[in-house]
Amino acid sequence: MGPDSRLYANPGARSAEPHDRLHALFTIALCAIWIFTGLFPHDPWKPDEAHGFGLVLHILQSGDWVVPTLAGEPFMQKPPVFFITAAAFAALFGSLLEVHDAARLASGFYMSIVLFFIALSGRELYGREHGWVAPLALIGCVGLLIRAHQMITDTALLAGFAIGLYGLCLSARRPVLAGLALGTGAGLGFMAKGLLAPGLLGLCALLLPLAFATWRRRQHLLVLLASSIAILPWLTIWPLALHARSPDLLGEWFWANDFGRFLGLNDLGPESAPGEYFVMLLWYAWPALPLATWVLWQRGREAFVTPQLQLPMLVFVVAFVTLSLSADARELYAMPMLLPLSLLAAASIDALKRSAANFLDWFGIMTFGLLAAMLWTAYIALMTGWPAPLAARLSELHPGFEARFDPLTLVVAVAATLLWVGLVWRVGRSNRRAIMNWAAGLTLFWVLTNLFLLAYIDYGKTYRGMIEQVKVHLPAKGCVASQNFGESQRALLDYFAGVKTQRLERIPSATRDCDALLWQGSVGNADSIAEPWVKVWQGARPGDRRELYRIYRREPAPATEGRSPPN
């Protein structure tokens, strides 16, 4: 059975308006700037980046991709596809960038896949002239901005969702290709974070023909068959390799970290609160959520018989309900819900009332204009010390930071600001310009933040300077024990100092076998370290009023205290 004109706008039709091509080129350029701004240069930040890079570092050092390992210990929270990809980028570009910055390019790679396939999905559902609206709606989502630029496996998961969602969009026209895309996307998501992606995408594929008559076609069986074949290698290669290495580690990942987190059988993640995702999406998915809500409100009952709306509605509902039922909740887990909301936002843009579109347009202009002015003021304060109250506050937050003037930074910042002003100052208003200006404004905010404040933020977040001080007081040879030392800190100690600690929580005999003990605690809290240990150093990151670190040695030595110097 061929494609049904009632189900899709003709995605192959040429745009009737030449400026749609310019919109597409503009979208590509804006998405490229949005993706690669902020990926570097900065050190791995805790918690997610730091321990994630620790797993990448293990692959680079050992070549072992089967057992995710953090600072010498198996770390079975997630499958390894993102860490393998990041290690590949680090090997390819590690000579041009710092190794951690090169590894972070993997997030840019996966986000490029996300935006490409969400554009294909928008084009498939709503026609070629709408293909560029969906990625603009996605990069405009406030909650995605920071997470999309971190070295985290959730970017690979989101790429898998985007590919699988495109497979569902394509299922009525080209069922075999759709099934291959669906299975590949679900498989990539599985290798990124486990059963969530195959479960959600598989459930959506089964519910579509059950819930909506339009999708009840024989071709859908081909979609399911092709997807089952495509996903099989993803589901078997790594689990079988891990089982051959250690059945216990496979069980730890599958039962403790995959099912266990969802069902709340362990304390590995933050506990979900009732209605948490509902409240979160109000800001996290802005402005895609209100746009999606508008199109459904405007269509009313018609939305439930419109195939272009049925699919993203179903995907969002399935994802929202499933994540809400999970015992483990974090804001980054909401990322997959942004994909169907972005598609619904793309559907709403032409039907939006002009007054509402103008409100969104002017709200975006005023919001990002004000934020840009605040960033320029912060930059001037860091460079000149004026205005004095702001400069004093910035210095108080990160004591010892010294700003350095870079002419190129100033030139790029001025150019970016003027380009944005020129974009929003154009004569004429349209619904599409509202989402375009919002995405451009958010991108300007991101560009200026990274140009003006990235070094300042990194100074407060990096552990590099503190670990250099720690290394001075550790023995050149022999083991180092640790107590209460976090996963992120262990990974960064391995990276910056080449030291893998033996945790007393895991190896109690380390207190007897090691010559040094590294303790982590809170400022103001006393430790319980007794003889024969003698404190030889105490310190923290500049401006950090929460974390405190101490080093103990067996040999008596004059105790010294102090904070690590500026990086």
The arrangement of strands across the sheet holding 534-539 comes to 502-503, 480-483, 516-522, 547-553, 534-539
Model pLDDT, residue 17? 55
Model pLDDT, residue 289? 96
Model pLDDT, residue 375? 98
Q: Is a pLDDT exceeding 70 seen at residue 7?
A: no
Lookup result for tokens 């024969």: 532
Model pLDDT, residue 481? 94
pLDDT category at 353 given cuts 50, 70, 90 is confident
Rounded CA gap, 268 and 257, in Å? Answer: 8
Taking only the tens place, the pLDDT of each residue in 470-507 is: 999 998 888 999 999 999 999 999 999 999 999 999 99
pLDDT category at 275 given cuts 50, 70, 90 is confident
Mean pLDDT of 243-263: 90
How far is it between the farthest Cα atoms of the chain? 84
Model pLDDT, residue 13? 41
pTM equals 0.93
Model pLDDT, residue 118? 97
Rounded CA gap, 318 and 327, in Å? Answer: 16
Model pLDDT, residue 429? 62
Lowest mean pLDDT segment, chosen from 37-41, 276-280, 350-354: 350-354
Residues 537, 469 contacting (CB under 8 angstroms) = yes
Rounded CA gap, 62 and 473, in Å? Answer: 27
Taking only the tens place, the pLDDT of each residue in 33-84 is: 999 999 999 999 988 999 999 999 999 999 999 999 999 999 999 999 999 9
Computed over every residue of the chain, the mean pLDDT equals 90
Taking only the tens place, the pLDDT of each residue in 123-135 is: 999 988 778 899 9
Q: Is a pLDDT exceeding 90 seen at residue 509?
A: no
Q: Is a pLDDT exceeding 70 seen at residue 558?
A: no
Dihedral, CA of residue 181, residue 184, residue 188 and residue 189, to nearest 10: 60
Torsions phi, psi for 554 (to 5 deg): -75, -35
Model pLDDT, residue 525? 73
DSSP of 180-247, one letter per residue? HHHHHHHHHHHHHHSSHHHHHHHHHHHHHHHH-GGG--THHHHHHHHHHHHHHHHHHHHHHHHHHH-H
Q: Is 517 helix (H, G, I), strand (E, B) or coil?
A: strand
Mean pLDDT of 285-304: 92
Model pLDDT, residue 88? 98
Q: Is a pLDDT exceeding 70 seen at residue 150?
A: yes
Find the helix or strand (DSSP H, E) in which 119 lies.
helix 99-126
Strand partners, 519: 483, 550
